[in-house]
Amino acid sequence: MTFGTFDLFHIGHLRLLERSAALGDRLVVCVSSDQLVLSRKGRLPLFSEQQRMDIVRSIRCVDKVFVEEAKGLKRHYLLEHRADVVTMGDDYTNKFDEFNDIVEVVYLKRTPDISTTDIVAQIRSLKPAP
């Protein structure tokens, strides 16, 4: 299982999902709800939770997608889906260690030089051609 926002789906997201899938026989992805993103980041995602879930579900290596409804439910979700392994990019290093008692926690190296935040900043700074 893995967790994330997956807003403006990009190559770092794809690589993370592919490498996660390679660690097991089923990949379940928990996508943060719009309200959770708003409370964590102070702004709504650009793509709605329904759109983000539809995109992630369409990725070949993904078997199941569901929405993360609220804070504090990760343990419940991991148990409910009988996860053996949870993966996160290494920007989350140590943040999932609390689940070591029920799953193997694997931090994967992030794909360099790309993030949703950077893409938004790049688009904002685009200037019209002279």
Positive or negative, the CA dihedral 69, 70, 71, 73 is negative
CA atoms lying within 13 Å on the CB side of residue 95: 13
Closer to ligand CTP by CB, 91 or 130: give it: 91
Which residue, judged by CB position, is nearest to ligand CTP in the bound state? 89
Closer to ligand CTP by CB, 45 or 128: give it: 45
Closer to ligand CTP by CB, 40 or 82: give it: 40
Both tokens of 56, joined, read 């992630």
Which residues, 52 to 111, sit near ligand CTP by CB under 6 A?
A: 88-89, 91-92, 110-111
Which residues, 2 to 61, sit near ligand CTP by CB under 6 A?
A: 4-6, 12-13, 16
Alpha-carbon distance of 101 to 41, in angstroms, equals 29
Residue whose structure tokens are 């979700």: 77
Alpha-carbon distance of 89 to 20, in angstroms, equals 10
Residues that bind ligand CTP (CB under 6 A): 4-6, 12-13, 16, 88-89, 91-92, 110-111, 114-117
